[in-house]
Amino acid sequence: MENYSSELDGLFQALADPTRRAVLGRLGHGSASISDLAEPFDMALPSFMKHVRFLEESGLIRTRKQGRVRTCTLERARFAMLENWLSEQRAIWEARTDRLEQLVLAKQEFLRHEQKRETDR
């Protein structure tokens, strides 16, 4: 029962490692097998596999085994969750700006009334 927040946890955590980001970059060019993916890294295979599993659990990749080869594929849709979060943050900033604007507008309104009273006097 993963909720939105804990999915974000996993997502960001998955991205917080240079090996995993490199794998994502590689998969951006197209699917690949575990050993193809592992080849550039100076790391024991079981260690590398952990990264792959982490990526899969975060939803950023899918994997499928045929025969003795496991093929990994980028799950591009998952990146939308990141964009979403960023949008939410920006929305908050915008909201703030709006309120600032309202303050400024309210002040202008106030000043207009002041001026009006000047002329009324």
Partner DNA sequence: ATTACGCTTAGCTATTGAGCTAAGTATTTT
Partner DNA sequence: AAAATACTTAGCTCAATAGCTAAGCGTAAT
Q: Environment class of residue 7 by beta-carbon count within 10 Å: exposed (0-12), middle (13-18) or buried (19+)? A: middle
The verdict on 43 binding its own copies (CB under 8 A) reads no
**From the list its own copies, DNA, none, partner contacted by residue 121 (C-beta under 5 to 8 A by kind):** none
> Cα–Cα distance between 20 and 54 in angstroms, integer?
9
* One character per residue 18-37, x = contact with its own copies (rule: CB under 8 A): x--x--xx--xxx-------
Backbone φ and ψ of 32, nearest 5°? -160, 160
Q: Which is nearer to its own copies, 29 or 121 (CB)?
A: 29
Beta carbon of residue 104, minimum distance to its own copies (angstroms, whole number)? 15
